[in-house]
Amino acid sequence: MAANELILLVAGIIALGVIAQLLAHRYEVPSIIFYLGAGIALGPEGIGFVTPEAFGQGLPTIVGLAVAIIVFEGAFHLKIERLREAPAATFRLVTIGAAIALVGTAAVARFALGIEWSLAFLIGALLVATGPTVITPILNVVPVRDHVAAALETEGIVNDVTAAILAVVFFQIVNPTAADNGLVADFTARLGTGVLVGLVVAAIIYYVLQYVDLSPGAAPQNARLLVLTGALVSYAVANAQLTEAGVAAAATAGIVLGNADIPYEQNVTDFKGDITLLVLSFVFIALAALLRVDVLLELAIPKLLVVAAVALVLRPLLVFVSTIGGQFSTNERVLMSAIGPRGIIPASVATLFAVELRTQASELRAEAEAVAGSESAELLAEAATLSNQADILVGTVFLVILVTVVFEGGLARYIAEYLDVIPMRVIIVGGGTVGRALADRLNDRGENVVLVEEKEAVVEDARNEGYTVEWGDGTDMEVLRGAGAENAKTIVAATRDDDTNLFVSQLVKSEFDTEKIIARANDPDNVEAFEELGVNTIDSPMATAWAIDNQIERPALSEWITGVGGTGDVQEVEVRNEEVVGKSIEEVGPMLPHDCLVALVARNGETRVPTADYVVERGDKLTLLGQHDPVREGMKLLQKE
């Protein structure tokens, strides 16, 4: 392909990737659905704009570097503290769960497709991976509780590495030209090499960022470039030692740097996110464009049996086994069972393996032409076997990707809403100083907060700071509906304009079944109008006076609980845990973490300081007082269903 044509091809794919992102945000579905659709439309089965010959011999290199960036990006966001949300379940998902997926998928593929065990285990290894490229977009539109998100995200990142290395190990058996050093030894060598290289590269990058003068004027830019370089170098160096060790290296470097206190972390995060979106869209569209429909449809019924087993049997089995005895409710476990789409690692590695197998088949056919008799027949038969294995590999893996992404990704939000596992939203109309300060406190408590703001500059600033923002006029019913007002437990009108706050309150009161409406009254003379509407009203001047009074009369308590994420905390939580219901306060106390106690109990509108023999009932609202982290652990205990 000519240089100009190749440039046009790459630019076209990237443009489609950006459009896919816009559509994904607009319709709240994973972008991979649009990537796959665009790729198939561009490929030989569509308009033929992208062909297997378009990239020549450069496709493996392009895909490899893209995978390095994608895996590094996902690992960079894996914070160690998040693993504490569900440590036991997370560990089981990436060990016992991965083993169930591997062996179960291999067994189904072996008998459904009638293939050799070696190829079956190769397919099983690839389909172990879920991956952040498909999990993260789903969690962006399905804001589940922290322990569910932590388990799914960690499973995706770790299993990406596991799947890539396992696949290479099993490919050693399928590929007749590869050497086999033993499955366990081969897996350990690749994983160990990747982890070691990743640690070394991460240590070097960290040292440079912390102790080397990066030029103050361009320090943020240099930090971004250094981290991106770390992702690529770790992958390249490890891969040069052992194939696919680079995936483990990129993941290790990402985890280490993501959890280190590096300068300009937010700049690095934003930059990497944009780069990752570009390479992800390019790779997915390019790989999907190389897919042939006849390969998908060949052995269609057996392949669909594999899909059904992976999605409907093995996924629920591994999730329920991995989450036994944990903090996950039954509905959360069902949702996790329904969220297991496959992503970039299975797609890219399967494609590259298929390319290698087909190349070897072509070489065997060329050899067969140079000889005669039985030797030629044997070479042709071996070539046919390799081509058939390549078709089965790609067809099965991509069919699983297509079906799981379309159905699980597209239906995830509806399933979550049906199961009632999405934490009810708090909507704050007004993204100014007050709105954002309130959002900080609610986010720290684990609430699902959405800001509504109509000023474009404020929206852009808030989104850059990490807030979830609905752009539009908060007095517009459709804007409120788009922010999730139909699923909101609390809506706060917090703008600087009392007329706007009053109109928002009236609209919410009449149109939405919201548990609590709170309004900010900037002028004390307007408080009566809000109260006549039945809205909880915060008189701004009076609230300021209360805060000053607290500093005068109760300075220790005020300073203890005022700062977000500070030393102390006071939180009110509704009791839903049946293990707590029916017990006295004296019995509940030892169940709570150290440095956390029950200060108040509210029941039927009456609030009191409980005595030791006060018996807790379901629905009671307990006010917990204590250190910040123990109070949050106590909240989780009382809310556990």
Higher pLDDT, 182 or 579: 579
As a dihedral over the C-alpha atoms of residue 429, residue 432, residue 434, residue 438, rounded to 10 degrees, the angle is 60
Average pLDDT, the chain: 82
| Domain-terminating residue out of 419, 442, 458 | 419
Q: Are residues 453 and 516 in the same domain?
A: yes
pLDDT of residue 2: 61
- Grade residue 336 by pLDDT with cuts at 50, 70 and 90: very high
| Same domain? 302 vs 439 | no
Quote the Cα angle for 77-81-83, to 5°: 80
- Give the per-residue pLDDT at 629: 80
Same domain, 301 and 329: yes
CATH number at residue 277: 1.20.1530.20
506 and 578 share one domain: no
Cβ pair 317, 95 in contact under 8 A: no
Indicate whether 414 and 432 sit together in one domain: no
- Choose the weakest-confidence range: 53-62, 135-144, 495-504, 601-610: 53-62
Structure letter (DSSP) for residue 525: G
Per-residue pLDDT band at 100 (split at 50, 70, 90): very high
Question: Between helices 3-27 and 265-289, what is the axis angle to 10°?
Answer: 110
pLDDT digits (tens, 9 = 90+) for 552-582: 877 777 776 665 445 778 888 889 888 888 9
What pLDDT shows up at residue 56?
65
**pLDDT reading at 190 higher than 50:** yes
* Same domain as 495, residue 630: no
Between 178-182, 315-319, 613-617, the lowest mean confidence (pLDDT) is in 178-182
Whole-angstrom Cα distance, residue 411 to residue 265?
34
Question: Tens of pLDDT along 508-554?
Answer: 888 888 888 999 988 888 888 888 888 888 888 888 887 787 778 77
d(CA 148, CA 333): 9
Domain containing 614 — which CATH number?
3.30.70.1450
Last-in-domain residue among 519, 549, 579 = 549
The whole-angstrom separation of Cα 131 and Cα 73 is 11
Residue 436's CATH number: 3.40.50.720
Percent of the chain with pLDDT over 90: 14
Model pLDDT, residue 562? 62
**Is the confidence at residue 178, as pLDDT, over 60?**
no
- 462 and 327 fall within a common domain: no
Query: 124 pLDDT band (50/70/90 cuts)?
Result: very high
Are 425 and 489 in contact by the 8 Å Cβ rule? The answer is: yes
Looking at residue 614, what is its pLDDT?
Answer: 92
pLDDT at 101: 94
Domains contained in the chain, number: 3
Question: Is the model's pLDDT at 256 over the cut of 70?
Answer: yes
Q: Is 621's pLDDT higher than 70? A: yes
pLDDT at 3: 66
Of residues 336 and 178, more confidently modeled: 336
> Per the domain annotation, does 539 fall within a domain?
yes
* Domain edge (last residue) among 400, 419, 438: 419
Question: What residues contact residue 624 under an 8 Å CB cut-off, 6+ apart?
Answer: 569, 570, 571, 572, 573, 592, 596, 597, 598, 599, 631, 634, 635, 638
Inform me whether the pLDDT recorded for 226 exceeds 50: yes
pTM of the entire predicted model: 0.68
pLDDT of residue 52: 66
Report, as an integer, the average pLDDT of 632-636. 84
Same domain, 530 and 414: no
Same domain, 524 and 387: no
Beta strand 425-429 pairing with 448-453: parallel
Residues 498 and 592 in one domain: no
Residue 495 falls inside a structural domain: yes
**pLDDT at 564 (0 to 100):** 47
Domain coverage including residue 507 = 425-549
- Weakest-pLDDT range from 80-84, 208-212, 366-370, 443-447: 80-84
Which pLDDT does position 85 carry in this prediction? 59
Q: What is the mean pLDDT of residues 180-189?
A: 69
How much is the pLDDT for 1? 56
Per residue in 408-466, pLDDT tens? 887 888 888 888 787 777 899 998 888 888 888 787 766 778 899 988 888 888 877 77
Asked if 221 and 346 sit in the same domain, the reply is yes
Tell whether the model's pLDDT for residue 179 goes beyond 70. Answer: no
pLDDT at 86: 62
Greater pLDDT, 254 or 26:
254
Report if residue 82 sits inside a domain. Answer: yes
Judged against a pLDDT cut of 90, whether residue 318 lies above it is answered with yes
Per-residue pLDDT of 279-305, as tens digits, reads: 777 777 777 777 777 777 787 899 999
CA torsion angle for 17, 21, 24, 26 (degrees, to 10)? Answer: -130
Tell me the percentage of the chain whose pLDDT exceeds 70. 91
Q: What is the pLDDT of residue 108?
A: 95
